[in-house]
Amino acid sequence: MTGLRWATTNGRKGTRTTAATAASAARSRHPARPPRLTHLDALESEAVHVFREAAAEFERPVLLFSGGKDSIVMLHLAAKAFWPARVPFGLLHVDTGHNFPEVLKFRDHAVAEAAVRLEVARVQDYIDDGRLRERADGTRNPLQTVPLLDAINTHRFDAVFGGGRRDEEKARAKERVFSLRDEFGQWDPRRQRPELWSLYNGRHRPGEHVRVFPLSNFTELDVWQYIEREQIELPSIYFAHRREVFRRGGMWLTAGDWGGPKPDELETVQTRSVRYRTVGDMSCTGAVDSHAETVPEIIAEIAASTLTERGATRADDKLSEAAMEDRKREGYF
């Protein structure tokens, strides 16, 4: 054995390996340090903290859950926050009636796996009984606000977790992690409360509620890197697949019974390799050309993209310069 001769404390000579001696010398030069946290560790820790703070401050919280990637990551984080206990609140989905079938199927699968309660508020019910009218452009995303606020009032939810992120859209970038809504469910940007360090203000009067955004400081790339690290399952719609789509407003929309395409406007159906960066109502959610079939391929695609997630794929955000802020003032997500 290759080794060094060394003297023991009892005076006898022994053998010490070269490798052991080198390791000891290295430890003396560099004292043991705690493992360095990654940015995903920091984001996860912050989100878990937000979930626990809200659960402690509010009596009747609920988590908005569409079956999309952000709400799936939120459910995953909520499960971590309260493990080994169950998630101590239910889920709420506002179904426009034009949701992607793959996403609804995955929504029900995820709910069953998590063993949590799901409430569904349906836009179609409001159209059928005359409380809402179909829009001329066929878009149902703006119609979600009334069913959402009715569900919040009916179930007396005082905190509503949402998957909004600050990198998505400029109106969302303005919001705090705890965002107060008045008794009509409306958001007033002038009533933003300061959030110093990790101190959140959940105080509200009867009838008011607070929207809580645990993913505020995630970016789209962070979300996908977290999905990869945690091996989180997603609907197939997020990965490249062959689909019938047509061009409208610079986006590839899915052909279907919701109202597209329009032959008189020369909208023709094509079969292309596409995937979705965000999901929502089919009438306003566009696909992007892609061949990314795995999470690492999607991460590489997003890292190289110069377009934001919603800017590339959400027609309802393009209705006006302040479209999202106007909807949020009315009580939208």
Better-predicted residue by pLDDT, 332 or 191: 191
pLDDT for the residue numbered 299: 97
Question: Distance (Å, rounded) from C-alpha 258 to C-alpha 255?
Answer: 8
Mean pLDDT on 245-262: 84
- Residue type at position 145: T
175-198 pLDDT, tens digit per residue, is: 899 999 999 999 888 888 889 888
61-87 pLDDT, tens digit per residue, is: 999 999 999 999 999 999 999 999 999
Better-predicted residue by pLDDT, 148 or 259: 148
Question: pTM of the predicted model, to two decimals?
Answer: 0.84
Q: What sign has the CA pseudo-torsion 141, 147, 153, 155?
A: negative
Mean pLDDT on 259-265: 77
Nearest to 52 by CA among 15, 14, 85, 98: 85
Out of 59-68, 137-146, 182-191, 273-282, give the one with best mean pLDDT.
59-68
Better-predicted residue by pLDDT, 203 or 261: 203
55-68 pLDDT, tens digit per residue, is: 999 999 999 999 99
Helices 69-82 and 101-114, packing angle to 10 deg: 0
